[in-house]
Structure 1
């Protein structure tokens, strides 16, 4: 296993502690087996390596990081790797991109059952349903989601700040007091415009601005052509049609889908279009918005379809609609903060008995003012007044 240890050591040496994603402090690392899921490029690998180097602090022989597409696994399987590691004193096994390993579910189950004092952490694409593999992992694994950077994380990273996340109840009860506290430290609006364009994925720090649209498109293509192929068994032809669907949506988000028209355009069944919506949502390419009061079903038509984050919109369209960007940002931050969001009959979003209308700095509350509880999320303002809240502040929920 020398090649695996050399690979592990080389990666650990390159990791620093300049910035930690929020999830590193949220995960219960004492679990016997846990999964870290998330879109490509959100920092899952870095998070695991940072935990090993700065938090776990175990002797070298007790810890091993591997990636499931390492050439070692051309001739070895996961179970025998875990067995040899364990017999040599190993107790903490980290497996990156497990979805690239053919029999991941069954072998992880065998490892869990056969080595009770071996802790296993694995990462995977957000599209992977770890509870529906060949073997039942539902009673064995705890899953955590790592979304892209919140605006708060981006601001902390860019401006070297340490501003804490704001709980939902605090944000809706005293939003402008909180906004004023932040504005006393920094002017958020210039950073907010940068974030909307290129700040969602941590790799923006490694790239010059001109390269970022290329990297974003590479991310999209890899998800479409590689990740979904690993997870859903898609062929090249299927991947092409799904990319075509995503392109159609990108031109007109927020999109009110006509499923029959999309099915004809793509030459597939209505059921296939529904399934692709679900797969793209799991892959964190889309956010689907259902009507308030309706249940969730795989074959239920979403009322509105959004790109998952604003960076995708700028990568796929030269001049995306500003109103759509604002709504996309707010929905993204709410969902990533684990809020349940639906489409109300009045306003743009309904969250925990609160109606939210989104717009520019002159946006009025006319569409929601008859509701018992409402907010106007207004762009291009530093501090609001009354029920008008700065849009950027919703980026502090996680």
Structure 2
């Protein structure tokens, strides 16, 4: 077990407390079993190691961090590791990338049932559905999702400025006051452009020049590795999924013609829908359904978006500006926990509000008769009335 402790100690040396993701304060860290899902590069590992170093260790709680793809597990299983750690006085076991471990749900269930005094915190790919594992974890685990950075978090991590987050209602009614507070400190539009292209994942701190290539590697790893572990993909399936992603990325926001895509890629309609929802689960796509439609994995989405604007730049060096605006707003609303639908008019419907997205000269003509509405307008520092700066929606979390 010393090899695991040495590995942990080596990692902890580089962990700092100067920046913590918003989710850290939302997690109930007292639950017996906690699952943290999120896209690669979002900071799940750092979140767990910060909790270990700055909360557990300071409170003299014995925690052990392991990663499921460590060579240790070539000859040892999770349950035996947990039992050995508990017998040595361990109180918390933190397991990173649990989806890479065979029979993960069965062993987590056995740990939960057999070691009631041991807390388990695990992280996994966004594509992992912990409620559909081969053993029932739904009554045992509390699951959280860690998305990429909000624009607000990007500003803080880049050491530009530190601002609080605001609810959609606060932004709706206090946007002039809030934007003026921000403008008195920074010129937000300059940083907003950088965020859209290279600021969604915390890995930007490792170097902006390498960000694009790292993001391409993440996309390939999600399809070739993460989804392969979870959905039993083979090389041929992965290649088809990448082609599907390319078709969507070329014209996102995309109203899918599933039959046409099926013919083009020689994949059945049901498999197309299955792959679309898998890419959604893997945080590569966002799906928009019309207001009033039921939610089902057999339901054809009304519109498809890339999950974040950085993906648009990774796949297409010159993405269309209007697409970026909509992709950004949907991403921030969903990440903040809001339910978003496609309205009959306008771009998004959320909290009984129709939102139209556009440039600085965007008018309200299209949504004027749609009840409560807002205009999310790009390229303005502050708004007036129902026109709100697009960048300000990046302060929702």
Shorter-chain-normalised TM-score: which range?
Answer: over 0.9
What is the match of residue 184 of structure 2? 184
Alpha-carbon RMSD across the aligned residues, in angstroms, is: 1.1
Q: How far apart, CA to CA, are the structure 2 residues paired with 1:60 and 1:261?
A: 60
Q: How far apart, CA to CA, are the structure 1 residues paired with 2:168 and 2:373?
A: 14
Instruction: Report if aligned partners of 2:161, 2:186 keep a CA contact under 8 Å in 1.
Output: no
User: Greater CA deviation, 54-63 or 366-375?
Assistant: 54-63
Q: How far apart, CA to CA, are the structure 2 residues paired with 1:184 and 1:266?
A: 52
SS at match of 1:152: helix
Q: How far apart, CA to CA, are the structure 2 residues paired with 1:52 and 1:349?
A: 40
Q: How far apart, CA to CA, are the structure 2 residues paired with 1:378 and 1:159?
A: 26
Instruction: Report if aligned partners of 1:61, 1:89 keep a CA contact under 8 Å in 2.
Output: no
Instruction: Report if aligned partners of 2:61, 2:92 keep a CA contact under 8 Å in 1.
Output: no
1:204-353 → structure 2 map (5 Å cutoff): 204-207=204-207, 209-353=208-352
SS at match of 1:14: coil
1:1-398 → structure 2 map (5 Å cutoff): 1-57=1-57, 62-207=62-207, 209-398=208-397
Instruction: Report if aligned partners of 1:292, 1:343 keep a CA contact under 8 Å in 2.
Output: yes
Q: CA deviation at 1:159?
A: 3.3
- Structure 1 segments, 4+ long, off by >6 Å, are none
Q: CA deviation at 1:61?
A: 8.1
Instruction: Report if aligned partners of 2:95, 2:123 keep a CA contact under 8 Å in 1.
Output: yes
Number of residue-to-residue matches in the alignment: 397
Q: How far apart, CA to CA, are the structure 2 residues paired with 1:317 and 1:157?
A: 26
Instruction: Report if aligned partners of 2:56, 2:62 keep a CA contact under 8 Å in 1.
Output: no
Instruction: Report if aligned partners of 1:365, 1:376 keep a CA contact under 8 Å in 2.
Output: yes
TM-score under structure 1 length normalisation: 0.98
Q: CA deviation at 1:181?
A: 1.6
Q: How far apart, CA to CA, are the structure 2 residues paired with 1:21 and 1:93?
A: 21
Q: How far apart, CA to CA, are the structure 2 residues paired with 1:210 and 1:59?
A: 40
Instruction: Report if aligned partners of 2:336, 2:396 keep a CA contact under 8 Å in 1.
Output: yes
Structure 1 unaligned regions, length at least 5: none
Q: How far apart, CA to CA, are the structure 2 residues paired with 1:81 and 1:305?
A: 42
Q: CA deviation at 1:18?
A: 2.0
Q: CA deviation at 1:162?
A: 2.5
* Alignment CA distance shift 1:59-1:367 (3 Å): closer
SS at match of 1:174: helix
Q: How far apart, CA to CA, are the structure 1 residues paired with 2:392 and 2:308?
A: 16
Q: CA deviation at 1:57?
A: 2.1
Instruction: Report if aligned partners of 1:61, 1:88 keep a CA contact under 8 Å in 2.
Output: no
Instruction: Report if aligned partners of 2:253, 2:303 keep a CA contact under 8 Å in 1.
Output: yes
SS at match of 1:159: coil
SS at match of 1:284: coil
Q: CA deviation at 1:58?
A: 5.2
Q: CA deviation at 1:329?
A: 0.2
Deviations 1:64-106 (A, max 9, x none): 0000000010001000000000000000100000000001100
Q: How far apart, CA to CA, are the structure 1 residues paired with 2:314 and 2:267?
A: 27
Instruction: Report if aligned partners of 1:63, 1:90 keep a CA contact under 8 Å in 2.
Output: yes
Deviations 1:180-217 (A, max 9, x none): 1211221111000000000000000002x322111110
